[in-house]
Chains A and B, each alone.
Chain A
Amino acid sequence: MSERSIIARWRARVGLHDVLAQILVALVLLMAVYWLVGNVISNLERQNIASGFGFFNERAGFGINQTLIDYDEDNNYGRVLAVGLLNTLLVSVLGIAAASFLGFFIGIGRLSQNWLISKMAMVYIEIFRNVPLLLQIMFWYFGVLRNLPVPRQSLSLGEFIFFNNRGFMLPAIHAGEGALWYLLAVIVSLGAFFWLKRRARQMLMATGNIATVWRPTGTLFLLALLTAYLIAGVPFQFDIPVLRGFNFRGGISIIPEFVALLLALSLYTASFIAEIVRAGIESVDRGQREAAAAIGLTGPQALNLVIVPQALRVIIPPLTSQYLNLTKNSSLAVAIAYPDIVSVFAGTTLTQVGQAVEIILVTMLIYLSLSLVTSLVMNWYNARIALVGGTHG
């Protein structure tokens, strides 16, 4: 039923006094909110607690050990908010990707005919789903951190990647001007890949012949890289981390807090996603699988072309709430000192500035926006696949 028809029917059914009652309730609600806000402000003033959002422009003065954008102590609290938000987004986006990937395979594994695989998937799900997330975070952080070597005895991979209890140290790549040619090569190859793929599909539909896409794309990509090399040479510089003093300097370091949080969040959420995927696949009628087999599709083909597209319609809505959960759960980062928005903004900034009402409000609004955007994207995707499903159903 469309939204418009609901409103039309509602208009037809309710009279004027019903509408007035609604307006009255809305007014009372507004007044209550107005009174609450006014009262909070006047009470804060009476208690001599500073209020307002002027603090955003004040100098922060503290350090943060993982920043995706340039930050130092001279930046202001607004910048701190941006740094914290980006750190939250980083761990959430990567966590969502990892949890989906892992959860999908475990969910399928759970339905495997192979007794060992299905039991292993079950054990995984039961363990990770039933241990509180905070404990899992602590386990990955303290349990695993304890066993890692000190910087002087770092494990190394070919002397340019290092691993110790301060995290992963990777070489940084600094690109010169000539790197644009390489970028161009990648873009051209990608464009060619999608174009060829579309053509191959059209050909498949028209003639039934299967055309290879990978071979021409690969050749083109190598040629493009060679051209870029001939024009620009090697415009990259590697900044390899070296042990100096207490720890490695240079390169990129991935802090253990991030690794532990990402591991815990994705392993925990994957167990829920696995169950959602299992339920989704089981919801597809047995006849579909049999029909797929009857027209000669192989097991993986049947899964890809017949089962999963239908299962997705059942999977997406609960999957969305798992994504929301993961994003919100990332606030547990504060327990292991990962500098997310709750730690640097609703934590350090809150205590330095002391304006709990404003800061908690901003933090809540940000989490709300993140959740709404995630829901919006997932609903859009859901609507799209629902439509595709509808055409043949």
Chain B
Amino acid sequence: MKMLSFQFRVVIVLVCACAFSQSAAAAETLSIVKKREHVQCGVSQGLPGFSNPDDKGNWVGMDVDICRAVAAAVFGDSKKVKFTPLSAKERFTALQSGEVDMLARNTTWSMHRDTALGVDFTGVNYYDGQGFMVRKDLGITSSLELDGASLCTNLGTTTELNAADYFRTNNMEYEIVAFEKADEAVAAYNTGRCDAYTTDQSALYAQRLKLTEPSAHVVLPEIISKEPLGPVVRQGDDQWSDIVRWAHFAMVNAEELGVTSKNVDRMKAAKNPSIRRLLGVDGTFGENMGIGNDWAYHIIRTVGNYSETFERNVGKSTPLGISRGVNALWTQGGLQYAPPVR
């Protein structure tokens, strides 16, 4: 009885959080996290490559790595994090009410979400765009041939709106079938309820692995929207917001500076002042955020740099086989760019 429990939870959580407590949104997340001795991180209900339990039940993925990086920065231990799987619909309520400290749930940064929901996006850990997946035997090569198609997708996502915009703009008819859980949307597409499954392109590759016959499906080349995915925190707690923002920046900077989980201990003795500042040998950058100066050292030691998390979770050697593309460093023609640690 998923629905009932969700509504019940929304009501209880909102009544409790809004009516009785004064603390959730105030600038205290860090001290609450420290007292609790773990970071509570909102993730997806299972999206290979981004947040998904592995065969031993450990959460792995690019979004999971952001959570682990935050835990490493705060505690020096990337294991001090617990995960709350959330549906697309539940995620912002769970964050607003203080049920989780942060979201790393393949969540699109949009203006409405940033300005009206009481939340802040701290950056973009994956530049994505919405695409379509169809059966190969339909013989379709472009999403402009989808006139009259039924589309399976997830309820309460930007996907639903983008699909509506795209089909209207191109004067095509469509039928949207929106499921609360991604698994059910994929299952319905798998049984043939829909002609196409539409969501962020990275997720299309990930979900394709769950189909009975992945090779019988093809992801169409068009990208119909901008989907910058990033971590989200509650608005109004700048200290916590900084920690989450810089956890991602540290990984990008580390890649740029050639610091990896393997050489990070050696790099501590490096002469390059940028590396010395990043690893906390010089400066008090950690202290300024209320955590240890070796915050980035712990992130890189336990989680790795941006390239390492990308290749480990979604890269060419994984079943997803996604190339860096726009997610390459700015020095290599991509969009991943981090302000300097200075």
Contact = CB atoms under 8 A, between A and B. Distances in A.
Contacts of B177: 65, 255, 257, 337
A348 B147 contact: no
Interface string B226-263: 00000000111000000000000000000000000000
Contact of A40 (B18, B93, B175, B176): B18
Given A142-B187, A245-B148, A351-B156, A331 B4 contact: yes
A247 B20 CA distance: 53
A36 B176 contact: no
Contacts of B118: 44, 47-49
By size class, the interface of chain A is: 35 or more
Contacts of B193: 145, 165-166, 256
Contact of B168 (A73, A255, A350): A73
B191 A44 contact: no
Interface stretch (A114-122, A339-347, A369-377): A339-347
B164 A73 contact: yes
A226 interface: no
Interface string B168-203: 100001111111110011011001110100000000
Contacts of A142: 187-188, 191
B106 to A, nearest CB: 14
B11 interface: yes
Contact of B148 (A134, A249, A342): A249
Nearest to B159: A62
Contacts of B37: none
A244 interface: yes
Contacts of A247: 148-150, 175, 195
Most buried by B among A43, A165, A245, A332: A43
A81 to B, nearest CB: 16
A73 B165 CA distance: 9
Interface in B303-320: none
Contact of A354 (B11, B117, B160, B195): B117
A303 interface: no
Most buried by A among B116, B152, B181: B116
Given A36-B15, A65-B175, A357-B14, A165 B116 contact: no
Nearest to A138: B184
Contacts of A64: 176
A48 B161 CA distance: 24
B149 A360 contact: no
B235 A48 contact: yes
A337 B17 CA distance: 30
Most buried by A among B7, B112, B163: B7
B184 A337 contact: yes
Interface in B123-159: 146-150, 152, 155-157
Interface in B1-31: 1-4, 7, 10-11, 14-15, 17-20, 22, 24-25
B217 interface: no
A62 B89 CA distance: 15
Contacts of A354: 92, 112-113, 116-117
Contacts of B155: 334, 337, 343, 347-348, 351
A352 interface: yes
A244 to B, nearest CB: 7
B156 A350 contact: yes
Most buried by A among B14, B181, B234: B14
B70 to A, nearest CB: 21
Contacts of B92: 351, 354
Contacts of A166: 150, 175, 193
A352 B175 CA distance: 19
B88 interface: yes
B18 A351 contact: no
Contact of B174 (A43, A63, A132, A256): A63
Contact of A347 (B18, B89, B146, B192): B89
A335 interface: yes
A65 B194 CA distance: 12
Interface string A46-77: 11111000000000011111000000010000
B192 A150 contact: yes
A274 to B, nearest CB: 23
A337 B179 contact: yes
A4 interface: no
A61 B157 CA distance: 12
Interface string B282-297: 0000000000000000
Given A43-B18, A351-B89, A354-B112, A342 B3 contact: yes
A257 B17 CA distance: 36
A353 B188 CA distance: 27
A46 B118 CA distance: 9
A215 interface: no
A360 B11 contact: yes
A336 interface: yes
Nearest to B173: A249
Given A246-B150, A335-B3, A357-B18, A63 B176 contact: yes
B96 interface: yes
A37 to B, nearest CB: 9
A142 B193 CA distance: 9
Given A246-B195, A348-B160, A351-B89, A48 B176 contact: no
Interface of A: 36, 39-40, 43-44, 46-50, 61-65, 73, 132, 134, 142, 145-146, 148, 150, 165-166, 244-247, 249, 255-257, 331-332, 334-337, 339, 342-343, 346-348, 350-354, 356-357, 360, 363-364
Given A63-B160, A134-B1, A246-B148, 19 more contacts: A39-B19, A40-B19, A43-B19, A43-B25, A44-B18, A63-B174, A73-B164, A166-B175, A247-B149, A249-B148, A337-B179, A348-B155, A351-B89, A354-B92, A354-B112, A354-B113, A360-B10, A360-B14, A364-B11
13 contacts: A62-B160, A63-B164, A73-B165, A142-B187, A150-B192, A165-B192, A166-B150, A246-B149, A247-B195, A351-B157, A352-B112, A354-B92, A360-B14
Identify the 10 closest CB pairs spanning chains A and B, nearest first: A351-B156, A49-B118, A47-B118, A354-B117, A245-B148, A43-B18, A63-B176, A40-B18, A50-B116, A48-B118
